[in-house]
Structure 1
């Protein structure tokens, strides 16, 4: 067991032994290192001013992802390379991304600029074409209120999209070797039995430690827990980080289902879930920003039990199962039964979410999912609806409908589902009773995001839209914005 963490900074290994359970990476950089180029803006992972690049050795190569330093606990960075804006220039010569920002006048007050530069640094190393949509998606988590985004996107087009040629690319093999050396099999425990940061290396070690400290806070990506600390001012004396647990981030296709480890990030899970249906990929692309998706996890989104979490309704509609572990015992539970009430899940003290089994679509099954929010990108849902229908000869024989934002938990619309059995999507009169059934399935609340009336009417509209699309309506007439495109030549039959 180690009582220190080790990170790779500017070509050297830095060992840190004295830090608090919830000390953030941002505070470490600014207050300890004096690396003040990384800024504190919103302090909740929205504005991107604190963006840094975190490098990991993945499959024998370096992968850089943007993260919000304000909501990353420094202990979570063990075994990673941390790159800040101060690190980019080489021998007094600006990095290509920095030079492009200067040449295209991409900065005015400059407060947001370091975070933007670091997000573009990760795009520079991503090996992806610097197309307009890609750039916009990459920068969705970086807000700028004085420059305007066009010169910034111009800088991205000028500097990204080619083969990386900076010193990080030249030193990639050596850096990979260092990170693989740092990735030992030791557990980490910093502190004492009353106040600690721990990062177990195996599932068994995690299970043992959590049984000893069931009052500890489990942290995977900290995209939610970080706000408990920064905004709610909670003191979390015991933190157990799950990010080092071997095998817990594994994603596996097993034929008719996808197994997703609890610590798999949104970014890693996205292509696997998008392969089930494009609507899932588009929904996940709109979860937070790229910084949030790089750190946040599918398992954490489930374990927190938020009634407005985006993935639970989709996973429930697909018929997913959650795996729970306590000590040496494991059990599986249909995901909809995991959520009991607001802030309450079917999880005993010392029990944790280990993974999820997500079924793929079977023969005759159709799926739709829609997220409604005030902003299209990087916003919390007012309503999220997910629908899976099984059809035989144009008749619905089975229906699973789940909503987020409509109740104290993500919840199925049981009455509406039963009223859809025998309905025909092409005949609106046959499924009209299901729309009315939603008013008995849900009693939504009014809050800052939407009124109860709006939520109920929107839920009805989303169910109707799903049925209209499945009946054969082209998505060009049912969606203002979306990624479900009609293949050439298929016309109205596409996705029906």
Structure 2
């Protein structure tokens, strides 16, 4: 057990709970705060959505999160807001009032989570008013499912809540009193349950060396499913979310190539401005990488370290020729990403190492990047196949071709033979047909519930065909287009 000190709807709280306690369990079973509901227990439905902010930030802001898969101990020194905290006496929050006025609720089970997503959207609008485009609304509410109402009245509520006068309660900007946290103040026995929260990279690597069997947790958007879906006991956890060095994005160079070092703890939401400015195709993919709740918590380093063959970011980073910095208590080493994945869920990481940073090279001004994800649902779903294509097209000839796939092998993988088949070739149907033949022989895809081996094989060939058609008719949309592909 370790003590968590946090604010709940403006009120200071102290709780002692086990390492694998989620925020949802903390609220419902330990604090008796039951407005937050459990739906899927996997971060898909949004019924358990809560809002979290860091009161110590210069400009605190609330982000939505799935309480069912967020570790309770990550609330340390944070401010948690739930549905119970929104009303001020008899005055409802605009998100609540708008849902009533627009008839946005029927059975009501999903309503608290929807209201909390609207609350975070409302607080953003209060601080920085921007147009509520359909894309913005869909991104904000894409992680909330409603089985009975339908989404039009919920959309109406989102638009109407901004017209409701409202004065924010004083507790909204509350701060915790300065106290010394007792968490992790003693030496931990090898078999003792613990939740360690180092705040520096040195402390993190020391903890990693001392407890090599402990699980690292960042956003927990994948790890926590082992607890909620497989009922695994996560009793020794090292939380990296408070390590300062893992949260920076810095423009720099590596081996003479300019680019950006991205801390492994940078979330997708924090990464989005960089991608919007320099890698729009990568930024486009983020609309289909989980929900807003997942993007607020999930990290780039975690997606890589997880080493899933269907992780969304590794194929794109492979196509961009990214590098990793791996750190232990003795120092760091740098490795190209295309050597990092060794087998299914296996990597080059030593038992005492962590991913500290990811280097994303700047693209040549004449280079292009295309990223296409195939999944059963457009929103909030895992890839069946994801293809990333980076290249330069000069005078009708392809150069610097890099192609990577997810879902086509035991690891995210470059299509090196296919790249070689296209390198220096003219943009012709014959060139791409030859490359498709090479690609056909280069991979033996997996066969699982998300897609058969035959489907994945054909899908990869079709993505290469899509690239050819896109380049052949640059002013014509090859496929029916939605903002998230």
For Structure 1 versus Structure 2, the TM-score category normalised by the shorter chain is: over 0.9
Q: Does 1:135 align with 2:137?
A: yes
8 Å contact from structure 1 (residues 3, 190) kept in 2: no
Note the alpha carbon deviations across 1:318-347, whole angstroms, 9 max, x for none.
Answer: 000011111122111111111000011111
Q: Does 1:208 align with 2:209?
A: no
* Compared CA separation, residues 216 and 54, structure 1 to 2 (3 A): same
Map of 1:320 onto structure 2: 322
Note the alpha carbon deviations across 1:5-60, whole angstroms, 9 max, x for none.
Answer: 211123232222x2111111001101111110000110110011100011124851
Map of 2:119 onto structure 1: 121
Map of 1:467 onto structure 2: 468
Gaps of 5+ in 1: 485-496
* Compared CA separation, residues 357 and 377, structure 1 to 2 (3 A): same
Note the alpha carbon deviations across 1:333-388, whole angstroms, 9 max, x for none.
Answer: 11111100001111111111111000121142111110011111101111000011
What is the aligned residue count?
A: 475
* Compared CA separation, residues 364 and 58, structure 1 to 2 (3 A): farther
* Compared CA separation, residues 210 and 225, structure 1 to 2 (3 A): same
* Compared CA separation, residues 322 and 479, structure 1 to 2 (3 A): farther
Stretch deviating more after TM superposition (233-242 or 392-401): 392-401
8 Å contact from structure 2 (residues 267, 295) kept in 1: yes
Map of 2:242 onto structure 1: 244
CA shift at 1:138, angstroms? 0.9
Structure 2 counterpart SS, 1:299: helix
Map of 1:49 onto structure 2: 47
Structure 2 counterpart SS, 1:316: helix
CA distance in 1, matches of 2:109, 2:388: 39
8 Å contact from structure 2 (residues 110, 145) kept in 1: yes
8 Å contact from structure 1 (residues 415, 440) kept in 2: no
Map of 1:277 onto structure 2: 279
Structure 2 counterpart SS, 1:454: helix
CA distance in 2, matches of 1:43, 1:389: 41
Stretch deviating more after TM superposition (187-196 or 140-149): 187-196
Map of 1:493 onto structure 2: none
Map of 1:450 onto structure 2: 451
Map of 1:422 onto structure 2: 424
Note the alpha carbon deviations across 1:442-473, whole angstroms, 9 max, x for none.
Answer: 00022111111111111111122223323443
* Compared CA separation, residues 191 and 107, structure 1 to 2 (3 A): farther
8 Å contact from structure 2 (residues 322, 359) kept in 1: yes
Please give the residue correspondences for 1:70-109 in structure 2 after superposition, counting only pairs within 5 Å: 70-109=68-107
* Compared CA separation, residues 236 and 125, structure 1 to 2 (3 A): same
8 Å contact from structure 1 (residues 321, 333) kept in 2: yes
CA shift at 1:231, angstroms? 0.4
Map of 1:195 onto structure 2: 193
Map of 2:346 onto structure 1: 344
Map of 2:409 onto structure 1: 407
CA shift at 1:189, angstroms? 5.5
CA shift at 1:129, angstroms? 2.7
Structure 1 counterpart SS, 2:327: strand
* Compared CA separation, residues 372 and 331, structure 1 to 2 (3 A): same
* Compared CA separation, residues 402 and 82, structure 1 to 2 (3 A): same
CA shift at 1:232, angstroms? 1.1
Q: Does 1:435 align with 2:433?
A: no
Please give the residue correspondences for 1:56-71 in structure 2 after superposition, counting only pairs within 5 Å: 56-57=54-55, 60-71=58-69
Root-mean-square deviation (CA), in Å?
A: 2.2
Map of 1:489 onto structure 2: none
**Correspondence for 2:391 among 371, 389, 405:** 389
Stretch deviating more after TM superposition (322-331 or 56-65): 56-65
CA distance in 2, matches of 1:466, 1:66: 36
Normalising by structure 1, what TM-score?
Answer: 0.91
Note the alpha carbon deviations across 1:58-114, whole angstroms, 9 max, x for none.
Answer: 851121111000001100111210000000010122111101111111111100000
CA shift at 1:481, angstroms? 2.4
8 Å contact from structure 2 (residues 397, 424) kept in 1: yes
Structure 1 counterpart SS, 2:61: strand
8 Å contact from structure 1 (residues 57, 180) kept in 2: no
Structure 1 counterpart SS, 2:62: strand
CA distance in 2, matches of 1:57, 1:163: 26
CA shift at 1:185, angstroms? 10
Structure 2 counterpart SS, 1:439: helix
Map of 1:490 onto structure 2: none
CA distance in 1, matches of 2:151, 2:483: 22
CA shift at 1:475, angstroms? 4.7
* Compared CA separation, residues 186 and 476, structure 1 to 2 (3 A): farther
CA distance in 1, matches of 2:181, 2:364: 40
8 Å contact from structure 2 (residues 10, 171) kept in 1: no
